[in-house]
Amino acid sequence: MALKLSRELMENSLSKYLQEGETIDVLVYAQKMNYFMTLLHKYYFLAITNKRLLIMRVTAFYNEKEFKAVNLEDIKGFKTSKSINGKTVTIEGKNGRIFKGTVPSVILGFSEQKESAFTFMNKLQGLNIYAV
């Protein structure tokens, strides 16, 4: 049971899903918060690789719960907005919403989160997709 979030933990969790020749460009931690029921919070590791967007839902203790991957060319658009503790990100695919959640700018124990969040947003912008 892992309790400390780190880049290595996220990379190790996602590495088994990498395809041949695929490399992770940026990793971020994200969450969907339910401010009325803490038990309903959802936690995610997001990664942009040279080929795909990887989304892994994890438990509060960072154990894998669910995984999905989307080819970068299947991402239609995205938008960001300010939230209390970072940016809310909505990513739309050709067949509907892929992900909506908050990418916090600060995560206790994960000093790279702020820089990674900035890089993640820039990578989305670099995909030449439109803001939704």
Global pTM reads 0.90
Q: Is residue 88 part of a domain?
A: yes
List the domain range (segments joined by +) for residue 102: 7-15+23-131
Q: What is the pLDDT of residues 27-84, one digit of tens each?
A: 999 999 876 666 788 999 999 999 999 999 999 889 999 999 999 999 999 999 998 8
The percent of residues above 70 in pLDDT, for the chain, comes to 90
Query: What is the C-alpha end-to-end distance of the chain, expressed in Å?
Result: 38
Q: What is the CATH number of the domain that holds 112?
A: 2.30.29.30
78 within some domain? yes
pLDDT of residue 107: 86
The DSSP string of the chain is ---S--HHHHHHHHHTTPPTT--EEEEEEEEE--SS-GGG-EEEEEEEESSEEEEEEE-TT--EEEEEEEEGGGEEEEEEEEETTEEEEEEEETTEEEEEEEEES-BTTBTTHHHHHHHHHHHHHHTT-EE-
